[in-house]
A and B are shown apart, each in its own frame.
Chain A
Amino acid sequence: MSVQKNPILRETSHLLIPAILLFALYVQFHGEYGPGGGFQAGVIFASAIILYALLHGTKKAEKVISLNLAKALAAIGLLLYEGIGLLGIILGGNFLDYNVLSHDSVHGQHWGILLIELGVGMTVASVIICIFYAFSKFKR
């Protein structure tokens, strides 16, 4: 890979990729106090992994997040969302009712929103990474 030998791209990416990952985590958990939330965080996380894969090749990127792990995380994110909904029914309320999740209705809402944003972020990030792997490994 010729891009690996280019020192500007290598050094810049080694500085930027950890910062992008940290920013994705910040946006995920501060989505309640400012702009942000699950979707934005998932897309930013995926774009950091795509940047790494573009520079160092898909084989090295698969050592970080393999294809099977990405497929599993996508399914787990969706199941987490549904699980919170069913938890509402088990604890006595309606489907996706957050008021019953904790001792207090406002705390229940906080827990509910935190967990489903986590599920959404996981699914969106792993879907975009998986689609990128599928495109880059396609042979004619």
Chain B
Amino acid sequence: MLEYISNHYNYWVSILLMMAGLYIVIDHTNLLKKLIGLNIFQTSVFILFISLGKVDGGTAPILEKGYSSFSNPLPHVLILTAIVVSVATTAVGLALVVNINNRFNSIEEEEIEQIELEEE
């Protein structure tokens, strides 16, 4: 049992953080906080992928004399792309929040629903 935990604890950490991010996105009504929850979710997925690529006793994937075992470079490449895409989506999301605030003068979900109902 202890050996099972020590072999799989990286998945548990990643799933815990993923659920924390998901909870923030579903539950909180403030739009900016939802974006931060989305960021937490994305970072936990990165941690999952990078921990999949680690090799025991290996080193960073840069060729160097004297090392023979390297960590897998393929997840690093995918996550590098994903990090830059995540900042692009965060920027577009923030521009949308600024526009919503300009139109409704509020960034809370429930207040915005209230204003939309009154305008009909």
Is there direct touching of A and B in the complex, by C-beta distance under 8 Å?
A: yes
Which A residues form the contact surface with B (CB < 8 A)? 34-35, 39, 124, 127-128, 131, 134-135, 138, 140
- Asked if B98 contacts A138 (CB within 8 A), the reply is yes
- Asked if A140 contacts B102 (CB within 8 A), the reply is yes
- Asked if A131 contacts B102 (CB within 8 A), the reply is no
Number of interface residues of B (CB under 8 A): 12
Q: Which residue of B lies closest to A124 (CB)?
A: B84
A-B contact list, 5 entries, CB within 8 Å = A34-B62, A124-B84, A134-B95, A135-B98, A138-B98
| Total cross-chain contacts (CB, 8 A) | 16
Contacts of A128 in B (CB 8 A): 87
- Asked if B98 contacts A39 (CB within 8 A), the reply is no
- B:83-103 near A, CB below 8 Å: 83-84, 87-88, 91, 94-95, 98, 102
Contacts of A34 in B (CB 8 A): 62
Tell me if A's interface is mostly helix, strand, loop or mixed. Answer: helix
Which B residues form the contact surface with A (CB < 8 A)? 60, 62, 80, 83-84, 87-88, 91, 94-95, 98, 102
Q: How far apart are B30's CB and chain A's nearest CB, in angstroms?
A: 19
Contacts of B102 in A (CB 8 A): 140
Q: Which residue of A lies closest to B105 (CB)?
A: A140
Contacts of B87 in A (CB 8 A): 128
Q: Which residue of B lies closest to A40 (CB)?
A: B80
Q: How far apart are B52's CB and chain A's nearest CB, in angstroms?
A: 20
Q: Which residue of B lies closest to A34 (CB)?
A: B62
Contacts of A39 in B (CB 8 A): 80, 83-84
Q: How far apart are B14's CB and chain A's nearest CB, in angstroms?
A: 23
Contacts of B60 in A (CB 8 A): 35
Known contacts A135-B94, A138-B98, A140-B102, A35 near B80 by CB under 8 Å: no
In Å, the complex CA distance between A131 and B98 comes to 13
Q: How far apart are B69's CB and chain A's nearest CB, in angstroms?
A: 19
